[in-house]
Amino acid sequence: MPPSTPARKRWAVDRQQLLILLVAAVMLGSFALLVLWPRQEELSVLSSEVTRQRALVSRKVRVSQEGVYVSARIAALRKIQDQLLRRLPDEPRLADFLEDVAALVGREPGVAYEVERTQGQWPGPVLAAPIRLRLTGPFAGVHRCLAGVEGLERLSQVQRLLVNRMDESGNVTAEADVFVFYLPPEPAAGQRMKAAVQPKAEAVRG
């Protein structure tokens, strides 16, 4: 009888510990299920939302920087456009070109000039207004005027130059055929569509 008593006591202690461990496991499982799991889901949602907001902010910053860059470039682009229009306008604007010629000749004392419109035609993708420029005066002054015409901002080209001999008064007469360039007008929408469709129609007929 005495040896059996400690065995019953040890079993009672073991069962009590087992119950304590079981209750603790249930409490930990309940805590994990009721508290940690919803919080983990919430943190996951918050992390996804933070990532999305960061991407949105980065995109807005990039668009803002591009907008600032474009805004800063507008003035430069307008300046370049103005320079292109002065050099190669979309219409003849011969009056502006002749004003520049008159200013050049006015700086050379003793040089006179005449201008007449001719019937030449420029063989190229741009249009050109043909004029004939006749300069009379001292050779040095006439030469500077011709060089100044070629150096004008407006695009032009001297096609033919004829210089007569110096007369008794020391003057020469230079005659230059000049092409003053300008851009052709853009075709209307209907004409562009017709020009695009016409080659296709010819290919079908062929």
The per-residue pLDDT for 193 is 47
Mean pLDDT score, 71-88: 76
Is pLDDT larger for residue 121 or for residue 116?
A: 116
Residue 46, CA distances (Å) to 41, 49, 50 in order: 9, 5, 6
Mean pLDDT score, 163-188: 86
Compute the distance between CA of residue 192 and CA of residue 188 in angstroms, rounded to an integer: 6
Range picked from 28-37, 120-129, 164-173 for highest mean pLDDT: 164-173
Cβ burial of 15 (10 Å; 0-12, 13-18, 19+) is: exposed
Compute the distance between CA of residue 42 and CA of residue 152 in angstroms, rounded to an integer: 73
Q: Measuring CA to CA, which residue among 35, 127, 142, 137 is closest to residue 89?
A: 127
CATH fit for domain 94-182, picks 1.10.357.10, 3.40.50.300, 3.30.70.60, 3.20.20.70: 3.30.70.60
Q: What is the pTM of this model?
A: 0.53
Range picked from 40-49, 81-90, 152-161 for highest mean pLDDT: 152-161
The per-residue pLDDT for 141 is 93
Compute the distance between CA of residue 2 and CA of residue 34 in angstroms, rounded to an integer: 49
Look over the chain and give the mean of its residue pLDDT values, rounded to a whole number: 76
Least confident of 58-62, 155-159, 164-168: 58-62
Q: Measuring CA to CA, which residue among 145, 88, 86 is closest to residue 115?
A: 145
Range picked from 18-27, 39-48, 90-99 for highest mean pLDDT: 90-99
Contacts for 148 with CB less than 8 Å, ≥ 6 apart: 104
